[in-house]
Homo-oligomer: A and B are copies of this chain.
Amino acid sequence: MNALDRLITLFSKLPGIGKKSAGRIAYYILDSNPVLAGTLAKELTGLHQAIRRCTVCGGFTETDPCSVCADTSRDHSLICVIESAQDMRIIEDAREFPGVYHVLGGLIAPLEGISPANLSIDKLISRLGKGNVKELILALNPTVEGDTTALYLQKTLKDFPVEITRLASGMPVGGNIEYIDKLTLSRSFRGRVKV
CB distance from A131 to the nearest CB of B (A): 32
Contact of A10 among B4, B27, B40, B89 (CB under 8 A): B40
Over the window 13-50 of chain A, the binary record of Cβ atoms lying under 8 Å from chain B Cβ atoms (1 yes, 0 no) is 11111000101110111110010111111111111101
Interfacial residues of chain A within 52-93, with CB under 8 A of chain B in the complex: 60, 62, 84-86, 89
Q: Which residues on the B side are within 8 Å of A60 (C-beta)?
A: 4, 27, 30
Given A2-B51, A86-B23: A38 and B28 within 8 A (CB)? no
Given A3-B62, A21-B16: A43 and B10 within 8 A (CB)? yes
Count the copies: 2
CB distance from A20 to the nearest CB of B (A): 9
Asked if A187 lies at the interface with its beta carbon under 8 angstroms from chain B, I say: no
Q: Which residues on the B side are within 8 Å of A34 (C-beta)?
A: 47-48
Contact of A37 among B3, B31, B48 (CB under 8 A): B48
Asked if A158 lies at the interface with its beta carbon under 8 angstroms from chain B, I say: no
Asked if A192 lies at the interface with its beta carbon under 8 angstroms from chain B, I say: no
Asked if A162 lies at the interface with its beta carbon under 8 angstroms from chain B, I say: no
A47-B29 in contact (CB<8A): yes
Q: How far is the CA of A60 from the CA of B44 in the complex (A)?
A: 25
Q: Which residues on the B side are within 8 Å of A84 (C-beta)?
A: 27, 31
In the assembled complex, 23 residue pairs joining A and B whose CB atoms fall closer than 8 Å, in A order, are A2-B50, A2-B62, A3-B47, A4-B47, A4-B60, A10-B40, A14-B28, A15-B21, A15-B24, A17-B21, A24-B86, A27-B85, A27-B86, A29-B44, A30-B60, A31-B85, A34-B47, A37-B44, A37-B47, A37-B48, A38-B45, A40-B40, A41-B45
